[in-house]
């Protein structure tokens, strides 16, 4: 039986997932503080039970990377309802959604960016730069010497980080970007799901019956709640299975852009990780760079419901 849909939800996805002993990790207090500020400023975060509802259902089992099938522990979609009127009434979401169909799914297939798509990219950046979340992120980056105060220069910096095309596959032309990988998702050689760490894309793909939620992933003593804003999940997409992915649920596009931009710009490491306490969660934030652009970015859930305290 096909899964039915409505509109209402919020999520966070990750490529690699391992359960860590959160108590043994060193928390980055500075990043925890600025991310908490941004969390409080995120007035466009949707409210579980009001703007969307999720159905966690069963706990997903272990499957290896590259699998094409998995036992389905969820007979219904993750998102049982989402308030699409609310979602589309918020300019940052509306402009974000317009970007999701601008990409070739497969790596190795060169992207062709039209003038209209460039305009859509710029319109999205203009919208998020007007939010309190991105204004505070910009001030923080100015204060740390990582960005210029000039708004046009900051926008150009964001465009290069997130929308510059580069080679992810050595064959063919420029086939990827940070935005595509993190927020839209890609497939590699038709054998592996890459990226797709965004709850809006997850919901829309689920609604179109292109994505099938298989269940949540969690330690036995840390079972998620249906009002959690961060989840670890397993799903199939275009005939491939992602064994585990971690994603924010319900948060705004500007919030995700802000925190991952800060993490990226405040480090020069190829892969940057930071343990942060955010609201009731302890997360390991991960960013991998591709030159001066985002390669991937995602949160890993370490603990929820203040269990790390």
- Whether residue 55 contacts residue 70, with contact meaning beta carbons closer than 8 Å, is answered with no
Q: Map residue 194 onto helix, strand or coil.
A: strand
- For residue 68, what is the DSSP state? S
Does 197 participate in catalysis according to the annotation?
A: yes
Active-site residue identified among 51, 138, 197, 207: 197
Distances (CA, A) of 259 to 61, 151, 213, 232, 233: 30, 18, 26, 19, 21
- Whether residue 211 contacts residue 198, with contact meaning beta carbons closer than 8 Å, is answered with no
What burial class does residue 59 get, using C-beta atoms within 10 Å of its C-beta: 0-12 exposed, 13-18 middle, 19+ buried?
middle
Active-site residue identified among 138, 214, 229, 242: 242
Does 181 participate in catalysis according to the annotation?
A: yes
Rounded to 10 degrees, what is the CA torsion of 211, 222, 36, 294? -40
Does 308 participate in catalysis according to the annotation?
A: no
Q: How far apart are CA 143 and CA 62, in angstroms?
A: 44
**φ/ψ (deg, to 5) at 296:** -155, 165
The strand pairing partners of 198, in sequence order, are 12
Q: Point out the residues that are catalytic.
A: 181, 197, 242
């Amino acid at each position: 039986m096909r899964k039915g849909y409505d509109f209402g939800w919020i999520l966070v996805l990750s490529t690699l997932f391992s359960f860590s002993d959160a108590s043994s990790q060193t928390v980055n207090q500075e990043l925890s503080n600025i991310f908490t500020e941004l969390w409080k400023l995120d007035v466009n975060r949707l409210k579980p039970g009001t703007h969307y509802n999720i159905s966690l259902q069963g706990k997903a089992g272990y499957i290896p990377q590259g699998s094409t099938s998995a036992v389905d522990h969820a007979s219904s979609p993750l998102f049982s309802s989402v308030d699409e009127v609310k979602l589309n009434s918020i300019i940052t979401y509306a402009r974000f959604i317009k970007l999701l169909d601008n990409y070739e799914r497969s790596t190795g297939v060169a992207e062709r960016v039209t003038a209209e798509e460039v305009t859509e990219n710029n319109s999205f950046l203009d919208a998020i730069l007007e939010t309190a979340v991105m204004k505070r992120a910009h001030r923080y980056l100015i204060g740390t010497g990582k960005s210029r105060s000039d708004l046009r220069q900051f926008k150009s910096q964001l465009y290069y980080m997130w929308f510059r095309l580069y080679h992810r596959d050595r064959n063919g032309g420029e086939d990827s970007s940070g935005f595509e990988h993190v927020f839209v998702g890609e497939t590699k050689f038709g054998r592996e799901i890459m990226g797709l760490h965004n709850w809006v894309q997850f919901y829309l793909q689920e609604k179109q019956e292109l994505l099938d939620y298989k269940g949540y992933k969690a330690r036995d003593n840390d079972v998620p709640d249906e009002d959690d804003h961060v989840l670890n999940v397993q799903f199939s997409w275009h005939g491939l299975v992602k064994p585990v992915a971690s994603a924010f649920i319900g948060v705004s596009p500007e919030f995700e852009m802000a925190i991952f931009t800060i993490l990226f710009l405040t480090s020069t490491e190829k892969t940057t990780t930071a343990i942060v306490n955010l609201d009731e969660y302890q997360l390991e934030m991960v960013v991998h760079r591709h030159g001066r652009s985002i390669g991937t970015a995602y949160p890993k859930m370490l603990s929820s419901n203040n269990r790390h305290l």
